[in-house]
Amino acid sequence: MARSRDETKRNQILLTSKSLFADKGFFNTSIADIVRETGFPVGTIYTYFQNKEDIIQKIVEEGWEEFYANLKSIRDSNIPPVEKLRTVIEEIIPELLQDVDLINILLTEAIQYTIIEDKIEKLTDTIDSILQAIPQSKSALTNIPRGFMKTSIVVFFLGILQTAKISKTKVMGITNQDIIDFTKSVISQSVGIKL
């Protein structure tokens, strides 16, 4: 038998490329860069990926899948609705914000290389279903009107991603923790509960 596909190599290529794409952008990263950084011969890159675009697509798809799988597992778990929301804000989102490279790519290149609207649809639906399961506090004066739900989730989600992205490279005086705290605060008020 001949050598068989080495999943480790594939991952190394993916990780190296992700870092390069995030740092320098897709177009400023050459296959030669990936070759240099991974130490693999060019041919090997093309053994595991169809072309340069395929690499970024796989980065985005697989990165997103992981995030979305986490999100869904929370939604489908048996914990109380409010706990679900808390977990999303305290665990899922921070975890995503941690992966700056992925965010960077998601916001700058993903739109060109993947079907972003599907992802946004799934995201808003999932978040929405978690929110709807929460009994509204009587005193909540600031509930988000039903019609704004999608818009608000999208604006908010994209906003925190973009903010996290910029704050990683540029000095803006905003930390990831600020973003998380702010998120918690906004959601608390909007939903009318204490998180």
Whether the Cβ atoms of residue 97 and residue 90 lie closer than 8 Å to each other: no
For residue 163, the partner it binds in its own copies, DNA, none, with Cβ less than 5 to 8 A by kind, is its own copies
For residue 148, the partner it binds in its own copies, DNA, none, with Cβ less than 5 to 8 A by kind, is its own copies
Q: Residue 48, interface with DNA (CB under 7 A)? A: yes
Taking the CA atoms of the chain, what radius of gyration do you get in angstroms?
A: 19
Q: Residue 79, interface with its own copies (CB under 8 A)? A: no
Kindly give the residue spans of alpha helices, DSSP state H, lying in the chain.
7-24, 31-38, 42-48, 52-75, 81-87, 93-98, 100-105, 111-113, 116-132, 149-169, 176-191
For residue 51, the partner it binds in its own copies, DNA, none, with Cβ less than 5 to 8 A by kind, is DNA
Q: Which of 65, 83, 125, 181 lies at the binding interface for its own copies (CB under 8 A)?
A: 181
For residue 107, the partner it binds in DNA, its own copies, none, with Cβ less than 5 to 8 A by kind, is its own copies
Q: Residue 179, interface with its own copies (CB under 8 A)? A: yes
Q: Which of 53, 95, 118, 125 lies at the binding interface for DNA (CB under 7 A)?
A: 53
Nearer to its own copies, 11 or 125 (CB): 125
Binding mask 12-31 for DNA (x = CB under 7 A): -----------------xxx
Residues 6+ positions from 171 with CB-CB distance below 8 Å: none
Site for its own copies in 17-76 (CB under 8 A): 25-28, 43
Q: How far is CA 75 from the centre of its chain?
A: 17
Query: Of how many residues is the chain composed?
Result: 195
Whether the Cβ atoms of residue 42 and residue 35 lie closer than 8 Å to each other: yes
Whether the Cβ atoms of residue 134 and residue 83 lie closer than 8 Å to each other: no
Whether the Cβ atoms of residue 13 and residue 48 lie closer than 8 Å to each other: yes
- Among 102, 97, 118, which Cα is nearest to 58's? 102
Number of residues that bind its own copies (CB under 8 A): 46
User: In the complex, which residues of this chain contact DNA (CB under 7 A)?
Assistant: 1-6, 9, 29-32, 40-44, 46-48, 51-53
